[in-house]
Amino acid sequence: MGSRVSTLSAPARLLTRSGLLAEKTKGNLTSTEQNFLAERALRLRMAYLEVTNALARGPRPGAPGGPASVGSGPLVR
């Protein structure tokens, strides 16, 4: 499990930094830029939750194990 924690620490830091970026740029972005940043942060959080939840559940019976089997499509577009 230690490798999973270290593997997920980089995305967790990225989530934190995206929140800091949103905070630091508040009021300085156009509505288009703000919407883009908010959408990307939401997609990143959802992808992170999908992966962490899948890891917590473990492999499904009959399904091939491993990270490639997590989710049904690309995590971030």
The tens digit of pLDDT for each residue in 16-52 reads 998 899 899 989 999 999 999 999 999 999 999 998 8
Q: What is the pLDDT of residue 7?
A: 75
Q: Is residue 39 part of a domain?
A: yes
- The percentage of the chain sitting over the pLDDT mark of 90, rounded to a whole number, equals 31
> Quick check: is 41 in a domain?
yes
Mean pLDDT of the chain: 79
Q: What is the pLDDT of residue 54?
A: 87
Q: Which residue has the tokens 């690309």?
A: 74
User: Would you say 32 and 2 are in contact if contact means Cβ atoms under 8 Å apart?
Assistant: no
Q: What is the span of the domain harbouring residue 16?
A: 9-55
pLDDT at 3 over 60: no
Say if 74 falls within a structural domain. Answer: no
Residue 64 lies in a domain: no
The pair of three-digit structure tokens given for residue 32, joined into one six-digit string: 């288009």
> For residue 66, is it within any domain?
no
User: Which spans in 1-77 are helix H?
Assistant: 2-24, 31-57
Residue 57's pLDDT is what? 87
